Structure 1
Amino acid sequence: MDDVLFVINPLAASGRADRVWMQLAARHPALRRAAVIRTADPIAATRLLIERLKPSIRRVVAIGGDGTLHHTANVLLSLPAPEKRSLGLVPAGTGSDLARGLRLARQPQLALDRALDGETVDLDVLSLTHGDTRRYAVNVASAGLSVPVVAAVSQRRRRGPVAYFRAALEAVRRETPPNARVIVDGEPWYEGPLLLLALANGCRFGRGMRIAPDARADDGRLQVVLVEPAPLARLLPWLPTLYAGWHYAAPFVRHRAARTVRVEPVDGTRSLTEADGDLSLPLPVNVSVVPGALRLRGLTPSATARRRR
């Protein structure tokens, strides 16, 4: 395993990622000699990744959730194209929305086998820019009330679907949606308050919500899903449809495919975005698709076959 680097967030899912790693290492003595970055500090993880990504490292395996994958992918995507390495994931987070959307193996041993030796697929990513600052999202970037929801959930000990759903209800009750202008593929598309604006490369979001059922992470497009403010009594009957992907029928939901999106604040509104469940850049932000930028290893054979057709 001289060409493999493991990245582990020991606090992901209240320590589940660390337990998964210990169990895998106990079964496979070779893992005990592998190169490992084990930290819950994203700044330290970034520094260590840059230091340890020697030319001999061709495979990187993240053990954790969407946040671990997000930070690892951002480092890999910042490197020159000739240094493109494969990234595998052993899902061990509370949400793991990208893993759900791509139907990655959830059983740790099987996920590890595929992350190390499975087939690779070059996935699109989303590039977010604010001035000279760039970030990448592998799964979904969003604006609106999803931002205070992400901030609230990150402070909670339990961060699963129930916690996210409760935080979302609290945000709808108490928060004021930011006013923004949304420009899609160079044309004005919407201006007004944003309950939610999801820019989706993957189909799952918010601990299992099927926010963009038409999204494919290898088609060169992103799916724009916008939810306009509505009274809570009107929103509540539609909330369960988010998990089935039937919410496009709601009268306050707009959606379309795009290649570029610009989100601008209106009336002095100050607001952040979030990317893959982490707080990200402030508005205004430009979002574009970078086709085939991330080499992901470990899709199931059926998922790989579907992407080749």
Structure 2
Amino acid sequence: MQNKWFIIVNPASGNGAAKKKWLKIYNELTNQNFDFKFLFTEYEKHSIKLIQNAIKQGFTKFICVGGDGTLHHIVNGILSLNPINITKIKLGIIAIGTGNDWIKTYHIPKNYKKAIQLIKNEYIIQQDIGKLLITTTNKTVYFNNLAGIGFDGYVVNNVNKYKKLGRLAYLVGALVSLTNFKKPKLEIKFNNKLLKGKFLLLLIGLCNYSGGGMQLTKNVNPADGLFDISYIQKISLFTILTNILGLFNGTITNHKLVSTEKTTCLYIKVLSNEKTYIQADGELIGFGNFKVELLPKALNFIVSTKSS
């Protein structure tokens, strides 16, 4: 199995675009002389089971055909299995999703032919991974892009109804959610600091982009052994609306109301009675108290040489 690829296809990704494009992708993989086996996911989180079974069969080279959510579940499948050969595992992506945020950090093209050629080159980066433990339920979730609590979790909880809008789904969902979101009271510990109060959001980032192309973390390096965190406490609806462009070009992180720091672990306690949603890689994963730690250079991803 050393040179054979195992491909996981989520036919629902991109509002069904993955299913429609799969025959073309299949033919291109064949034309580029890939030796591969493929399976379709049949239900939510099925990719976790598929990749764990493939690893047990001896596969080490994988391709995700789907979006950020599919990639997130595959990463969780690998790390929750914790295989002894994890350093040999390589993971590439042919991105067909709503936001396609993770690929933007690494300049991975959305064009499937170019993405396949990139995967064929097998240029590897060892990326840091976040490990999040929801202490109230003892649930562990890994993330490869960005996690957060507060407003972004609230948006993820609401965004499904706007997914037909593509990358604009997150922006529309955010603007709609602003009118009825109530800031939770949190206690946040990191770097010997203790913050307590109402927060609009707390973001814990590894890569550059989230929410359909927004840049909400600063000085990001996915392999430096540090989280890039951003948090906002007091900010008005007017201030957010007048800084829409800054959400996408990253200048919002320079605003006086946005705090940015680097750390390796955080502890978050929810002091509000309302459900305060936690998201990881754009997936809603739960609510309540949690802690996050960084796993340095935990997984090999196939990326573009432009990102080096």
**TM, length-normalised to structure 2:** 0.91
> Which residue in 1 is equivalent to 2:304?
300
Q: CA deviation at 1:143?
A: 0.7
Q: CA deviation at 1:263?
A: 1.2
Distance 1:159 1:222, change over 3 A: farther
Note the 1:250-269 alignment, pairs <5 A: 250-269=255-274
Letter paired with 2:169? A
> Which residue in 1 is equivalent to 2:228?
223
> Which residue in 2 is equivalent to 1:74?
76
Q: CA RMSD in A?
A: 2.1
> Which residue in 2 is equivalent to 1:273?
278
Q: Residue 87 of structure 1: which of 91, 96, 99 is its match? A: 91
Name the CA distance, whole Å, in 1 between partners of 2:44 and 2:71.
11
Letter paired with 1:245? G
Name the CA distance, whole Å, in 1 between partners of 2:170 and 2:68.
14
> Which residue in 2 is equivalent to 1:152?
158
Name the CA distance, whole Å, in 2 between partners of 1:26 and 1:154.
31
Letter paired with 1:94? T
Name the CA distance, whole Å, in 2 between partners of 1:255 and 1:40.
40
Q: Residue 209 of structure 1: which of 214, 230, 235 is its match? A: 214
Spell out, residue by residue over 1:231-282, the C-alpha distance to the aligned partner (whole angstroms, 9 max, x if none).
2122211122011110123232111111111111114343221000000132
Q: CA deviation at 1:114?
A: 2.2
Name the CA distance, whole Å, in 1 between partners of 2:133 and 2:69.
19
Distance 1:35 1:171, change over 3 A: same
CA contact under 8 A between 2:218 and 2:250: conserved in structure 1? yes
> Which residue in 2 is equivalent to 1:307?
none
CA contact under 8 A between 1:183 and 1:263: conserved in structure 2? yes
Higher mean C-alpha deviation, range 123-132 or range 227-236: 227-236
Letter paired with 1:133? K
CA contact under 8 A between 2:162 and 2:173: conserved in structure 1? no
Q: Which runs of 5+ in 2 are unaligned?
A: none
CA contact under 8 A between 1:11 and 1:40: conserved in structure 2? no
Name the CA distance, whole Å, in 2 between partners of 1:284 and 1:80.
25
SS of structure 2 residue aligned to 1:270: coil
Letter paired with 2:18? A
Higher mean C-alpha deviation, range 266-275 or range 206-215: 266-275
Name the CA distance, whole Å, in 2 between partners of 1:126 and 1:292.
10
CA contact under 8 A between 1:20 and 1:108: conserved in structure 2? no
Higher mean C-alpha deviation, range 229-238 or range 63-72: 229-238
Note the 1:168-187 alignment, pairs <5 A: 168-187=174-193
CA contact under 8 A between 1:61 and 1:116: conserved in structure 2? no
> Which residue in 1 is equivalent to 2:59?
57
Name the CA distance, whole Å, in 2 between partners of 1:236 and 1:219.
33
Q: Which runs of 5+ in 1 are unaligned?
A: 305-309
Name the CA distance, whole Å, in 2 between partners of 1:160 and 1:149.
15
CA contact under 8 A between 1:142 and 1:199: conserved in structure 2? yes
Name the CA distance, whole Å, in 2 between partners of 1:300 and 1:288.
27
Name the CA distance, whole Å, in 1 between partners of 2:62 and 2:263.
30
Distance 1:43 1:67, change over 3 A: closer
SS of structure 2 residue aligned to 1:164: helix
Name the CA distance, whole Å, in 1 between partners of 2:111 and 2:240.
35
CA contact under 8 A between 2:28 and 2:113: conserved in structure 1? no
**TM, length-normalised to structure 1:** 0.91
SS of structure 2 residue aligned to 1:155: helix
Distance 1:58 1:230, change over 3 A: same
Q: CA deviation at 1:55?
A: 4.3
Q: CA deviation at 1:205?
A: 0.9
Name the CA distance, whole Å, in 2 between partners of 1:40 and 1:97.
24
SS of structure 2 residue aligned to 1:217: coil
Spell out, residue by residue over 1:96-136, the C-alpha distance to the aligned partner (whole angstroms, 9 max, x if none).
11101121232211212322442111100111012332110
Note the 1:13-52 alignment, pairs <5 A: 13-29=14-30, 34-39=36-41, 41-52=43-54
Letter paired with 2:84? P
Name the CA distance, whole Å, in 2 between partners of 1:22 and 1:284.
44
Q: Residue 124 of structure 1: which of 116, 123, 128 is its match? A: 128
CA contact under 8 A between 2:157 and 2:277: conserved in structure 1? no
Q: CA deviation at 1:225?
A: 0.4
